Structure 1
Amino acid sequence: MTKVKVCGIQDLEAARWAVDAGADAVGFIFADSRRRISVEKAAAISDSIPEGILKIGVFVNASKEEMESIVQKVNLDYVQLHGDESPAFCSNLEVPYIKAVAVTKESDLNILPDYSGEFVLVDSGKGPYRGGNGISFDWEYLRDYQSSNHKLILAGGLKKDNVREAISIVRPYMVDVSSGVESGGVKDKEKILEFINEVKAIKTDSESGE
């Protein structure tokens, strides 16, 4: 079953909605974004999240020291890197990382094997921010993508109405949603529930015995 990450959590209420709906991971943004959260607030929310749900911090070109400090304060499981972080920089981190790759053309995927983390995240390269713009890219680029050493996280413009198609094409390990579960720029309880229910209702070929 495809896993779900709800990103851009900014308050305790939204975190509880995500947890109660069955999210497998939540994301806190510490980079330039309208969903940016303070370290102190993220730490307070993190304390309320049950064991077994991944807590992921989103960064763009932050220093190794800054990220490792925030990881400790917020008790993060992973850092998600949306900047120009090199494979060498990433492998030198003391914390698990997810390298995010902005995709505007199929050849952008060529960089993925260079990173040694357990996960890679693919997002649209369009929009004002390094991710979180609510814009999708051509999922067909990933129809035949296979990796022996990465679990793939799909992000970019996902919502209840298109996530089934996205999963059928890409077959990601996890989908990452933010703007697709918001109303007026704020997390929406019903949209979170509907999105997660939609994803969890989708059976992959391996689950359906095909």
Structure 2
Amino acid sequence: MTQIKICGLKNRAAVDAAVAAGADYLGFVFAESPRQVAPEEVRELTQEVPEEIKKVGVFVSPEEAEVEEIVAIAGLDMIQIHGRSNLTELSRPIIRAFNIEDQETSYFFNYPHLLLDAPPAKLMGGNGQTFNWHLVDQRRLPKEKLWLAGGLKPENVGEAIRFFQPRAVDVSSGVETNGEKDHAKIKAFCQAVKAVDRQEFI
């Protein structure tokens, strides 16, 4: 079963919509971004989230002390790192973001989770940009570690899953309207992922 991460959540209504739609992971951005939230807000927003749904903090080129302080305040379960960073071990499992320009950077493959994203644009992630999937050397991708992002939306996530067979898919701008989380799109995205999984078992 392909797992689902809804990222860039900023308010209780969006968190509730992601939980109700069947998300496995909730993503909260602590890097500079229109979606940035404070760790205290995340703790408040997720007080009633079921324990099996994991809270992921998103960072860009962070320092270890900064990450660990936010982990403790926000109550995070996982840490997603974009940009330049030598951090390989923290108090929570790391999801290391990389893109097609990093394919020869072998150290990425030492992480427990790998997030294949579009190359950075205005922001390190959440830009809504797809990339040429055919430029990825899938022979080197450890599928059991692979998370997929980069311009995913309800209309193309099924095709992306069939192409890459990732462990998880990650969406932010693809479930937004005018920069805000669209609850109907969140539901449609999760339904599209689950539809592919059902087809695989038929």
Contact 2:98–2:108 (8 Å) recurs in 1:
no
Task: Tell me which residue corresponds to 2:48.
Answer: 48
Describe the SS at the equivalent of 2:45: helix
Whether 1:101 and 2:98 are equivalent positions in the alignment is yes
Out of 88, 91, 103, the residue aligned to residue 90 of structure 1 is 88
Task: Tell me which residue corresponds to 1:176.
Answer: 170
Contact 1:122–1:154 (8 Å) recurs in 2:
yes
Distance 1:163 1:138 in 2: 14
Deviation at 1:205, TM superposition (A): 8.3
Deviation at 1:48, TM superposition (A): 2.1
Number of aligned positions between the proteins: 202
Letter aligned with residue 127 of structure 2: N
Letter aligned with residue 78 of structure 1: M
Distance 1:162 1:185, change over 3 A: same
Out of 96, 114, 121, the residue aligned to residue 120 of structure 1 is 114
Task: Tell me which residue corresponds to 2:179.
Answer: 185
Contact 1:60–1:81 (8 Å) recurs in 2:
yes
Distance 1:205 1:113, change over 3 A: farther
CA displacement, residues 99-141 of structure 1 (integer Å, 9 cap, x when unaligned): 10133x4xx2222554433211011114111111110111223
Deviation at 1:16, TM superposition (A): 0.3
Out of 158, 162, 165, the residue aligned to residue 164 of structure 1 is 158
Point out where structure 1 has 5 or more consecutive residues left out of the alignment. Answer: none
Describe the SS at the equivalent of 2:103: helix
Letter aligned with residue 101 of structure 1: F
Describe the SS at the equivalent of 1:100: strand
Task: Tell me which residue corresponds to 1:13.
Answer: 13
- Give the TM-score of the pair, scaled to structure 2: 0.92
CA displacement, residues 55-81 of structure 1 (integer Å, 9 cap, x when unaligned): 100001121011011111111111100
Distance 1:100 1:2, change over 3 A: same
- Give the TM-score of the pair, scaled to structure 1: 0.89
Greater CA deviation, 150-159 or 198-207? 198-207
Distance 1:35 1:181 in 2: 13
Distance 1:113 1:163 in 2: 28
